[in-house]
């Protein structure tokens, strides 16, 4: 159920309103087999349901805290519709204490005779890999305070236990905090490796090798150690800010998470500096931007590093021509991108450019014809902000290579051989 009429209309025509690989097929199959329907009618959706999942948006407010109003608006209507025992599962990412507050709201609006429980069941899906991360989760977290609620949630996830998915059953507050702690830790890993990348540039070391080697330590692990333009998306930026915000409200500062946020903002601006350095005096220069979505396999532009990088370049008088395989329809609608030109492919974005910057590591950017790019560009410079190319290969094709944390630019390296 969603109150957005156009979303429901599109879903009813089996059109998924965002890009997620494999999802249209699953939606289609389940609709055809009678397991899935779409509606704008909340009371109707709730009536007769044994379990109700609340999965609304919790966008950040100006002060960084999460806006949870939609959760409580839904909880109230759900409470008024209760009919027999119902389990209400608060799945939206919301500050610690929200599930308990939902219970209180429902208690206020429900009939005296209504029977219900509220549980927390945070989700750990990754956009672009939503189906895979749903079907093969690392763990399921259930915050439930009655055996009945815990049992229902367990049985819903039963098929996944065939894969022996571990399950953590805990209190509402602990479950809610697990979600924020997981995202904040992952964001911290990224800010950490980005900082090491910047240090690599200063001392002529290679972050790719550093990340690989530290990742071999099983206590550290190899994942989420890719240096780049900073993390974006609808989760990490919002959830780190919300954690810092509800920690402050609890009288505590989370200094590591605050530093993660600051380092991420710095990283995006550093990328602007990197590109400007590559093109020289910026006014009137032209930069091609490859990739707008915050990561590959999604059309999501929320908090995408590309947007901050483009804004930073344009402030310096740089002309931008961008290309993204799926995010361009959404990008064309964004007021902040008004005046940005869009190309039909990577080569069009490169035509006449003084530098080409890879901002999102879409697969199709991994195997470009470098010689063709070189011929199209005014100045052949590839700013590989995702480190997807081998610098030697790019330079062999006649382009200058600029990566993230891959040592000093060629020519300025110190030699270990003595000159005498
Ligand atoms: C993230 C978490 O990974 C999910 O577990 C969580 O469920 C989800 O948020 C959520 O809270 O809903 P998602 O935002 O879809 O998932 O994307 P990620 O793959 O985590 O990437 C986030 C950002 O970090 C992207 O901008 C990506 O480019 C960046 N990143 C990721 C790096 O810069 N380096 C890395 O090594 C990994």
pTM, two decimals, is 0.93
Residues serving a catalytic function are 235
User: Residue of the nearest CA to atom 9 in ligand 1?
Assistant: 235
3-state secondary structure of 66: strand
pLDDT at 268: 96
- Give the nearest ligand 1 atom to 386 CA: 33
Q: From residue 39, how far is each of 15, 44, 56, 149, 265 by CA, in Å?
A: 14, 8, 15, 26, 40
Please name the residue that has the structure tokens 């049985």.
155
CA dist 136 and 132 (Å) reads 6
| Ligand 1 binding pocket mutation candidate from 126, 359, 365 (most atoms within 8 A of CB) | 126
User: Residue of the nearest CA to atom 31 in ligand 1?
Assistant: 224
Low-confidence stretches of the chain (pLDDT < 50) are 418-420
User: Residue of the nearest CA to atom 29 in ligand 1?
Assistant: 231
Residue 366 Cα to ligand 1 middle (Å): 20
Residue 7 Cα to ligand 1 middle (Å): 25
- Give the nearest ligand 1 atom to 127 CA: 15
Two tokens, residue 205? 């070391």
Q: What is the DSSP letter of 262?
A: H
Expressed in percent and rounded to 5, the helix, strand and coil fractions of the chain are 45, 10, 45
Contacts of 178 (CB under 8 A, 6+ apart): 122, 141, 168, 170
User: Residue of the nearest CA to atom 27 in ligand 1?
Assistant: 231
Please name the residue that has the structure tokens 């750990």.
124
Residue 61 Cα to ligand 1 middle (Å): 21
- Give the nearest ligand 1 atom to 187 CA: 24
- Give the nearest ligand 1 atom to 228 CA: 33
Two tokens, residue 219? 């206590």
Two tokens, residue 176? 């809610």
| Ligand 1 binding pocket mutation candidate from 56, 127, 175, 192 (most atoms within 8 A of CB) | 127
Rg over CA atoms, the chain: 24
List the 86-90 sheet strands across, edge first.
51-54, 86-90, 116-120, 140-143, 167-170
Residue 359 Cα to ligand 1 middle (Å): 15
Q: What is the DSSP letter of 413?
A: P
CA dist 215 and 213 (Å) reads 5
Residue 294 Cα to ligand 1 middle (Å): 9
How many of the other CB atoms lie within 10 Å of CB of 68?
Answer: 24
User: Residue of the nearest CA to atom 16 in ligand 1?
Assistant: 126
- Give the nearest ligand 1 atom to 128 CA: 15
CA dist 90 and 132 (Å) reads 22
pLDDT tens digits, residue range 317-335? 999 999 999 999 999 999 9
Residue 52 Cα to ligand 1 middle (Å): 27
The pLDDT > 90 percentage for the chain reads 92
User: Residue of the nearest CA to atom 36 in ligand 1?
Assistant: 224
User: 319 pairs with which residues across the strands?
Assistant: 286
pLDDT at 387: 98
Helix (H) and strand (E) counts in the chain: 17, 11
Residue 357 host element (H or E): strand 355-358
User: Residue of the nearest CA to atom 7 in ligand 1?
Assistant: 124
**380, 399, 379: which is closest to 389 by C-alpha?**
399
Residue 330 Cα to ligand 1 middle (Å): 20
User: Residue of the nearest CA to atom 6 in ligand 1?
Assistant: 124
Two tokens, residue 369? 């014809």
State whether the Cα torsion 237-389-132-213 is positive or negative. negative
State whether the Cα torsion 213-218-219-222 is positive or negative. positive
- Give the nearest ligand 1 atom to 360 CA: 28
Residue 187 Cα to ligand 1 middle (Å): 8
Residues with CB under 6 A from ligand 1: 93, 123-127, 183, 186, 190, 224-226, 228, 231-233, 235-236, 294-295
């Amino acid at each position: 159920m969603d109150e957005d009429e156009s979303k429901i209309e599109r879903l009813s025509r089996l059109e998924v309103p965002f890009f997620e690989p494999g999802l249209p097929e699953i939606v289609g199959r389940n609709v055809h087999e009678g397991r899935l329907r779409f509606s704008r009618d909340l009371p109707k959706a709730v009536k007769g349901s044994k379990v109700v999942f609340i999965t609304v948006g919790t966008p950040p407010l100006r002060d960084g805290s999460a806006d949870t109003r939609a959760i409580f608006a839904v909880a109230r209507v759900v409470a008024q519709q209760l009919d027999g025992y119902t389990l209400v599962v608060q799945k939206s990412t919301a500050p610690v204490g929200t599930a308990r507050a939902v219970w209180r709201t429902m208690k206020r609006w429900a009939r005296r005779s209504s029977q219900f429980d509220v549980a927390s069941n945070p989700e750990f899906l990754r956009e672009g890999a939503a189906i895979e991360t749903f079907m093969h989760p690392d763990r399921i977290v259930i915050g439930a305070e009655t055996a009945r609620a815990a049992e229902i949630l367990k049985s819903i996830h039963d098929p996944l236990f065939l894969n022996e998915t571990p399950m953590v059953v805990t209190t509402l507050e602990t479950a809610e905090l697990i979600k924020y702690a997981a995202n904040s830790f992952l964001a911290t890993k990224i800010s950490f490796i980005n900082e090491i990348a910047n240090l690599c540039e200063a001392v002529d070391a290679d972050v790719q090798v550093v990340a690989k080697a530290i990742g071999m330590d099983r206590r550290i692990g190899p994942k989420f150690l890719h240096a780049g333009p900073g993390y974006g998306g609808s989760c990490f930026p919002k959830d780190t800010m919300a954690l810092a915000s509800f920690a402050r409200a609890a009288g505590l500062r989370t200094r590591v998470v605050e530093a993660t946020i600051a380092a991420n903002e710095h990283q995006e601006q550093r990328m602007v500096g990197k590109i400007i350095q590559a093109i020289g005096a910026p006014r009137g220069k032209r930069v091609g931007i490859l990739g707008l979505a915050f990561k590959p396999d999604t059309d999501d532009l929320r908090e995408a590093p590309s947007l901050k990088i483009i804004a930073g370049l344009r402030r310096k008088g740089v002309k931008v021509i961008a290309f993204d395989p799926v995010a361009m329809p959404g990008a064309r609608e964004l007021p902040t991108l008004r005046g940005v030109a869009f190309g039909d492919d990577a080569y069009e974005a490169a035509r006449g450019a003084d530098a080409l910057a890879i901002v999102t590591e879409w697969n199709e950017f991994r195997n470009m014809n470098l010689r063709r790019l070189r011929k199209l560009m005014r100045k052949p410079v590839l700013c590989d902000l995702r480190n997807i190319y081998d610098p030697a290969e790019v330079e062999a094709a006649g382009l200058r290579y600029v990566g993230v944390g891959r040592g000093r630019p060629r020519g300025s390296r110190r030699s270990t051989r003595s000159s005498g």
